Amino acid sequence: MKSKYKQRFFWGILLAFIWQLTAVSGIFSELIFPGLDQISIVLFKSLQDGTLIKQIAFSLSVIAQGLFLATIMALLFALTAYFSSTAAGLIDTLTALAHPLPGIALMPLILIWFGSGRMAILIVIIHSVLWPLSLNLSTGFNSIPDIYTLIAKNYRLNKFEFMYKILIPASLPYFISGLKIAWARSWRALISAEMLFGAINSLGGLGWYIFQRRVFFDLPGVFAGIIVIIMIGIVVEDFIFAKLENKTVKKWGGLK
Amino acid sequence: MGGLKMSSYLELKNINKSFETEKEKKIVLADINLKIRENEFLTILGPSGCGKSTLLKIIAGFSKTDGGKLLKKGKTIKEAGMDRLMLFQDFEQLFPWQKVINNVEFAVKQAAKNKKLKLSSVQIKERALKYLKQVKLRDYQNYYPHQLSGGMKQRVALARTLAAEAEIMLMDEPFGSVDSQTRQELQQLLVQLWQEENRTIIFVTHDIREAVFLSQRIIVMKNEPGQIINIVENKLPYPRKRSSRNFNHLFEELQSQLHS
């Protein structure tokens, strides 16, 4: 684990160095290929005057809300499907229809139906999270060992007890991997939705930040936005998800 | 069985069971009749495919019969219940997401809930620890199941079944997946626990020595169709010695019955 970070650090520094060399070499105009110094100045300024911070906060708050709502919906879908075969058919059909549909394809429609506010972005995020997550949860529920159902019968667990004492913990590995897919999908959906829907609450989010910089041909600004997006991605994947896995699945003896 | 009147604690009456495949109907159990005494240690011995595990599942209430009855103290039972708990061979029967102590506490809590008892968390833990101590795993209470060996996992599972205070313990070759050294230790532990606690044990095995070592009565079964061919009283005194003459005598007798 430690050596992974060491390696990343090493290669990261090397790539940054090559970037900087290319920038100062003058092969490309600094208008289209800014140096790291210019990018950091813009990044620092944007952070300092508070606009970028507000935009990051906006993006993260929308995504957190979307993930939360979609997770609850996915849990409801998967649980209903597990306990009722009629509902399972309906949910399966809905998933088959909606899952392959990229969120971006829905954006024009959402723009007409819901306008371009926070609600519209939320809907794009929920769409991109709900289906893969409920699919993963259903797979998890259906692949718990038969022995658990026998134990539940033997110890007279009611449906509710079975759900929270066995079904959900036993399928947690599937839930976490679903959440990872959900996060990646919603992050993409969010940035593109923000670009398309423009400034919401007068400021907008990270996607809008990048889009705006492009309009002013401020490439250091565009890169600053991209760097922030990358950083948030790394923090979520390597720290939040890694921690969640270490505290659960890994501690229990790995994935089955 | 003689002329003595047996108190029938658990009674199997004309149990039949068959599975239907596309081509044929396979009879798994044919007309099983058996009376089980309270607190007795009974083994069901037979070759694979004789339906001994199916019989145990029927007693547990996991499987339906095609006619026949299961009676406990004269009352018909149709469903699974905590009075008859199954101990499986599969190591996966423990919950990997819970520590050893929590796995056992699960049984204590369910038992209390079924008996409508309110227990404090201290009482729950005390009970769980008592049984962990009995299986000599008190020091491992904070381990996760994956950190234990197969034999230790089965001991935790045993503690869990004991902690649920099931009157009848149903064991489906529970020591079938551990090495022979560990198996002998577990057999010894089981006899000891059975002598300390008032429980009825119905133990399924295909291992003749295991049956002779453990039980007071041995139900001998044959396959195709699964039927009881003999019921052998095992009067060897506990603790039993695997090397004794009487032990080997009984072993040979059972072996000849199984191969007839």
pLDDT digits 0-9 by tens, B115-147: 899 999 999 999 999 999 999 999 999 999 999
Neighbours of B25 (CB within 10 A): 9
Which chain A residue lies closest to B84 (C-alpha atoms)? A154
Q: What's the ipTM?
A: 0.90
Q: Is B260 exposed, middle or buried (0-12, 13-18, 19+ CB in 10 A)?
A: exposed
Which pLDDT tens digit goes with each residue over A70-117? Answer: 999 999 999 999 999 999 999 999 999 998 898 888 888 998 998 888
Q: How far is CA B129 from CA A17, A196, B141, in A?
A: 60, 61, 8
Q: What is the pLDDT of residue A34?
A: 92
Subunit contact B110:A156, Cβ cutoff 8 A: yes
Q: Where residue B3 falls among pLDDT bands split at 50, 70, 90?
A: very low
Q: What is the pLDDT of residue B4?
A: 47
Query: Please, are residues B211 and B195 in contact by the beta-carbon 8 Å criterion?
Result: no
Looking at chain B, the whole-number percentage of residues with pLDDT higher than 70 is: 97
Q: Where residue A251 falls among pLDDT bands split at 50, 70, 90?
A: confident
For range B19-35, the mean pLDDT? 87
Interface test with chain A among B97, B100, B104, by most A beta carbons within 10 Å: B97
Q: Where residue B2 falls among pLDDT bands split at 50, 70, 90?
A: very low
Q: What is the pLDDT of residue B7?
A: 54
Q: What is the pLDDT of residue B223?
A: 86
Q: What is the pLDDT of residue A103?
A: 83
Sequence-distant (≥ 6) Cβ neighbours of residue B238 within 8 angstroms: B191, B195
Which pLDDT tens digit goes with each residue over B149-189? Answer: 999 999 999 999 999 999 999 999 999 999 999 999 999 99
Instruction: Please name which of B143, B134, B127 lies closest in space to residue B94, comparing C-alpha atoms.
Output: B143
For range A214-223, the mean pLDDT? 90
**Which domains are delineated in chain A?**
51-252 (1.10.3720.10)
Radius of gyration for the alpha carbons in chain B, expressed in angstroms and rounded: 19
**Confidence (pTM):** 0.86
Sequence-distant (≥ 6) Cβ neighbours of residue A120 within 8 angstroms: A110, A111, A114, A193, A197
Which chain B residue lies closest to A166 (C-alpha atoms)? B95
Q: Where residue A168 falls among pLDDT bands split at 50, 70, 90?
A: very high
Q: Where residue A201 falls among pLDDT bands split at 50, 70, 90?
A: low
A244 part of contact set with chain B, CB < 8 Å? no
Which chain B residue lies closest to A144 (C-alpha atoms)? B92
Residues of A in contact with B86 (CB under 8 A): 150, 154
Query: Please, are residues B42 and B231 in contact by the beta-carbon 8 Å criterion?
Result: no
Chain A: give the shortest CA distance to residue B98, in Å: 8
Let me know the angle formed at the C-alpha of A196 by A192 and A200, rounded to the nearest 5 degrees.
100
Q: Which residue has the higher pLDDT, B225 or A157?
A: A157
Mean pLDDT of chain A: 90
Per-residue tokens: B98: 């819970």
Q: Where residue A2 falls among pLDDT bands split at 50, 70, 90?
A: low
For range B8-26, the mean pLDDT? 87
Per-residue tokens: B106: 């699960």
Query: Please, are residues B214 and B43 in contact by the beta-carbon 8 Å criterion?
Result: yes
State the SS3 of B122-143.
Answer: HHHHHHHHHHHHHCCCHHHCCC
Which pLDDT tens digit goes with each residue over B86-117? Answer: 999 999 999 999 999 999 999 999 999 988 99
DSSP single-letter state for residue A165: I
Cα(A134)–Cα(A70) distance, integer angstroms:
9
Q: Annotate B148-206 with DSSP letters as a single string.
A: S-HHHHHHHHHHHHHHTT-SEEEEESTTTTS-HHHHHHHHHHHHHHHHHS--EEEEEES
Q: Where residue B48 falls among pLDDT bands split at 50, 70, 90?
A: confident
Chain B: give the shortest CA distance to residue A55, in Å: 39
Q: What is the pLDDT of residue A227?
A: 93
Query: Please, are residues B61 and B86 in contact by the beta-carbon 8 Å criterion?
Result: no
